[in-house]
Amino acid sequence: MKNLENLRKEIDGEEETFLIILRTELRWDWDAFNRLTNLMYDVADGATGLESVDKHIAQGYWFIDTWVRDWTGHDDFPRPEKDKYEEAIQLLRDLSYFFFTGVSPYEDDGLKKMVEKMHNKRMQSDAAEPRR
């Protein structure tokens, strides 16, 4: 239940969420992205097999999948490194697919591993980059 509440805050663009940072600071915040994708996975996994889902949450998955790609796709947006960016955008699409269909686009626990992989990549990247 806590994950659902926290995802609702992300969808609503509350303070310190990935969407509000992206929109107002024009900055890709990997920590906020990882919080969002972990919540999206957990909520989608919990919704598997349910006959219906909260409309606001469903709209949020659709919005995140489409808006993030559109907003950050602008030529002037300071996107992350191309490979990491494309992988992150694909992860958002995959999480939305999982939420709406209840089927992971990967075998076994591959989607959860992708969520963890993005987090681990960022952690490795942080360790390699000097702080400013």
Alpha-carbon torsion, ordered 14, 19, 22, 27, to 10 deg = 80
Please write the tens of the pLDDT for every residue from 100-111.
999 999 888 889
Please write the tens of the pLDDT for every residue from 10-46.
999 999 999 999 999 999 999 999 999 999 999 999 9
Cβ neighbours for 111, distance < 8 A, ≥ 6 positions apart: 41, 94, 95, 98, 104, 105
Q: Which domain holds residue 31?
A: 2-128
What is the model's pLDDT at position 21?
97
Task: Confirm if 68 and 61 have CB atoms less than 8 A apart.
Answer: no
The C-alpha atoms of residue 61 and residue 67 are separated, in whole angstroms, by 10
